[in-house]
Amino acid sequence: MEKEKVKKPVPVAPKKQRASMRDYFKGIKTEVKKVVWPTRKELVSFTGVVLFACVMLSLGIWLVDSAFLASLKFVLNISF
């Protein structure tokens, strides 16, 4: 005898009620109050780290680009 497969009912999500603009901005205000803002010292430190990372990444990309250009000039025997 074969076992019959029992189909499970598909769960249906409840209909969402459309919130008013007032409720939307009230929710935003509530969420912003939960944010832990950095201190001035942390902000300066984080900014320094980001700037340093940007400079290092820029230098790395420039070096790779320059090396690629030099290798193309050598392989193709061209000059600008």
Q: What is the pLDDT of residue 2?
A: 59
Would you say residue 1 has pLDDT above 60?
no
Q: What is the pLDDT of residue 9?
A: 78
Residues in the chain: 80
Would you say residue 72 has pLDDT above 80?
yes
Q: Is 11 helix (H, G, I), strand (E, B) or coil?
A: coil
Cβ atoms of 79 and 73 within 8 Å: the answer is yes
pLDDT tens digits, residue range 12-64? 767 666 768 899 999 999 999 999 999 999 999 999 999 999 999 999 999 99
pTM here?
0.56
